[in-house]
Structure 1
Amino acid sequence: MVQALAKAEIHRLNPDGTPAGKSLTVQFNPNEYTLVKGAKIAQIPIFGIDSPILQFVAGTSETMSFELFFDSTEDGTGTEAKPVTKRTDEFYDLIKIDGETHAPPVVLFAWGADTFPGHRRPDSQSRHGFKALVEQVRQRFTYFSSLGVPLRATLSLTLREYKTLDQQIAELNLRSPDHTKAHVVQTGETITRIAQKTAGDPRSWRRIAEANAIDDPFSLAPGTQLAVPPEV
C-alpha cells in the first residue's frame, strides 16, 4: 500500500499557542531545510597568555531556512493563465503586521512531527515542529505568460524561533541559587508571592524591589519582567 505524501504546513498561532485561522499547506514540499543555532561568546584578554579566556554570554535564537516552489501552469500559460501569486501571497503575508496584534503572527512549521529535529529531547525541550516568527521572505518569479502573468515562483523563507521567557526558564531548569533569575509578573501576583515563588522566602521582596528600582512594590503591572538577584 502506497502511503500518502505528507505535506508541510505552516500554522498561525494565538498568543497562547492555539491555532489561529486557516493553516497554509505548501504546494510542493521543500527539498531541504537548514537549522542554525549559535551562542554569543565573550573573549576576555589576559595579559601575558597566548589566547583570551572564553566566557559564554547567552544563546542566540535558532533560525530555520528553506525554499518553497509554486507553479500555476496547470491552468494554462496563455490568456487563460492564472497568476501564481494567488498561492504565494498567503505565505508572503506571514511577515506582514497583523491589525489586531500590531506584529507579524507567531507561526508553527509542521512536517514529520514524530521525526522533527529535537523531538527526542527531554520533555521540557521536546518539539514536534518549529515555532517562530517569519524573519524574511524572498520571492523569485521565474516564468511568465505572454501577458506577463507570473506563473512560477520560488519563495525563500527564514524563520526565527519564538520562545517566551517563562518557556525558556522552564526548559533550562536553572537551579543554581547564585545566579540572577528572571520572572514575568502575572495578573494578580504580589511581590511577596513572587519572592516566595522565586526565592523561597516572602521576606525577600525588598531585595527584588531594590534590584528593579520599583517605587511602589505593591502595584506591579502584569507582563513586567523582574530580575531576581541571588541572596548574598
Structure 2
Amino acid sequence: MATLEKAVIEVLAGSRAGQPPIAVLFNPTEYTRERSNAYKATAVPGLSSPLIQFVNGEADVLSMELFLDDYTDVDQPGARGPKKPVNERVKDIAALLDIDRDLHAPSPVRFLWGPLRFDAVIEKLSQKFTLFRPDGTPARATLSVTFKEYLPLARQLRDPRRESADKSKRRQLTASEDIWLLASVEYGDPALWRTIVDAPGNDIDDPWRLGPGDWLIVPPLENGNGSSNTV
C-alpha cells in the first residue's frame, strides 16, 4: 500500500529559514492554479477600437482550503513533543504573513505536495473556526490560503523573454495604416511613434499628413546606453 504523502509549507528565506516545515495534516481535497496576463488598451486616432498591447505576465496564483481538527488530526510525522492544538497551528501559518526582521518583508515559502512544487508568498489567509472546547479555545478550523508565485530577480533576468526590433527597416504605409499603427506593429507600442518621426531619413513635418504609399524608416529601439536591442 502506498504511503500517504503529506503536503508541507517550507520557509525559503529570512529568520525562519531552515526550521522544520509546517505539515498540512489534512491534505487539501482540491486546489486551483491561475495564470493571467496584463494588457493595456491604447486609443489610436482614426481607429474604431483601441489597440490591445501585452504589458507583462502576472504571477501564478495557487489557492486552496486547509482543514485543521484537534479531534481527528494525527500526530505530525517526525514532530517533537506533543501535538500542537489547532489555535497554535493556525498561528504558525498566519505568522508567514508577518514582516520578517531579516528581510523587511514576509518570507517566501514553498508549498510541496507530491509533484507540486510552488515557490510563493502568502497573499491572503482567511480563518474560519467551527468547533470549540468548553473554554472557548478553537478545536476545528478551515483556512482559505492564496499563494502568489515568487520568482527571484536573478531567475527572471536569466529568462527575460523580451523581443524588439534590431534593424532599421523601410515600410510603406497602406490605406489602412498610419504611423501609430506602424509603431504598434513594429515596437508593440503606438506611443513610440515619435521614434519613427525622429529617425534619420524621415522628413516628417506633420504625421497627420502621412498617407498610403508613403515610405518610412523604422529604426531599432535603443537601450539607455545607446546600443540597439537585439532579439
TM-score by length of 1: 0.62
**For the Cα contact (< 8 Å) 2:10–2:111, is it kept in 1?**
yes
1:131 aligns with 2:119: yes
Is there any run of 5+ residues in structure 1 with no aligned partner, and where?
76-81, 117-128, 180-206, 212-227
Letter in 2 for 1:57: V
Alignment of 1:55-94 (within 5 A): 55-74=53-72, 83-94=85-96
- For residues 47-101 of structure 1, the C-alpha deviation after alignment (integer angstroms, 9 at most, x for no partner) is 44443221111111111111100000259xxxxxx84112221111111122222
Letter in 2 for 1:20: G
Provide the C-alpha distance between the structure 1 equivalents of 2:148 and 2:114, rounded to a whole number of angstroms. 19
Match among 100, 112, 115 for residue 114 of structure 2: 112
Q: Helix, strand or coil for the counterpart of 2:32?
A: strand
Task: Name the counterpart of 1:31.
Answer: 29
Residues 174 and 44 of structure 1, relative CA distance in 2, 3 Å threshold = closer
Identity %: 37
1:4 aligns with 2:6: no
**For the Cα contact (< 8 Å) 2:87–2:137, is it kept in 1?**
no
Letter in 2 for 1:45: A
Q: Runs in 1 of length 4+ with deviation above 3 angstroms?
A: 46-50, 172-179
Letter in 1 for 2:105: A
Match among 84, 101, 120 for residue 99 of structure 1: 101
Select the structure of larger CA radius of gyration: 2
How many residue pairs match? The answer is 163
- For residues 175-223 of structure 1, the C-alpha deviation after alignment (integer angstroms, 9 at most, x for no partner) is 65748xxxxxxxxxxxxxxxxxxxxxxxxxxx97xx3xxxxxxxxxxxx
Deviation at 1:135, TM superposition (A): 1.0
**For the Cα contact (< 8 Å) 1:144–1:150, is it kept in 2?**
yes
Q: Helix, strand or coil for the counterpart of 1:3?
A: coil
TM-score by length of 2: 0.62
Residues 102 and 172 of structure 1, relative CA distance in 2, 3 Å threshold = closer
Alignment of 1:1-232 (within 5 A): 2-14=1-13, 20-74=18-72, 83-113=85-115, 116=116, 129-174=117-162, 178=166, 211=224, 230-231=227-228
